[in-house]
Amino acid sequence: MRTHTVVGGGGVSLHVVETGETNRPAILLLHGLSQAWLAWHRQLNSDLAADFRIVAMDLRGHGRSSKPRDAYQDSRLWADDVRAVIETLQLDRPILCGWSYGPLVILDYVRHYGDDGIAGMQFIGGVTRLGSAQALASLTPEFLELVPGFFSNDTEESVRSLTGLMHLCLVAEPSQADAYLLLGCALATPPHVRHALLSRSLDNDDVLRRLRRPVLITHGTADSVVKSEIVREHTALIKHTQVDLVEGAGHAPFWENSNAFNQRLATFARECAR
Q: What is the pLDDT of residue 274?
A: 84
Overall CATH class of domain 2-273? alpha beta
Cα angle 192, 43, 222; round to 5: 70
Q: What is the pLDDT of residue 76?
A: 98
Q: Contact at 8 Å (CB) between 26 and 94?
A: yes
Task: Output Rg (C-alpha) for the chain, integer angstroms.
Answer: 17
Contacts of 225 (CB under 8 A, 6+ apart): 100, 125, 139, 140, 142, 143, 165, 168, 169, 250, 251
In whole angstroms, give the CA distance from residue 133 to residue 118: 31
* DSSP string over 216-256: EEEEETT-SSB-THHHHHHHHH-SSEEEEEETT--S-HHHH
* Upper half-sphere CA count for residue 67 (Cβ side, 13 Å): 15
What pTM value is reported for the model?
Answer: 0.97
Q: What is the pLDDT of residue 14?
A: 98
**DSSP conformation class of 11:** G
Low-confidence ranges of the chain (pLDDT < 50): none
Contacts of 274 (CB under 8 A, 6+ apart): none
Question: Which residue ranges make up each domain of the chain?
Answer: 2-273
Give the tens place of pLDDT for each residue, 13-32: 999 999 999 999 999 999 99
Find, among 99, 39, 42, the residue nearest to 223 by Cα: 99
Give the tens place of pLDDT for each residue, 155-201: 999 999 999 999 999 999 999 999 999 999 999 999 999 999 999 99
Q: Contact at 8 Å (CB) between 268 and 214?
A: yes
Q: What is the pLDDT of residue 85?
A: 98
In whole angstroms, give the CA distance from residue 134 to residue 229: 12
Q: What is the pLDDT of residue 270?
A: 96
CA distances from 104 to 25, 31, 125, 202 (A): 23, 11, 12, 8
| The one-letter amino acid at 87 | E
* Residue 56 three-state SS: strand
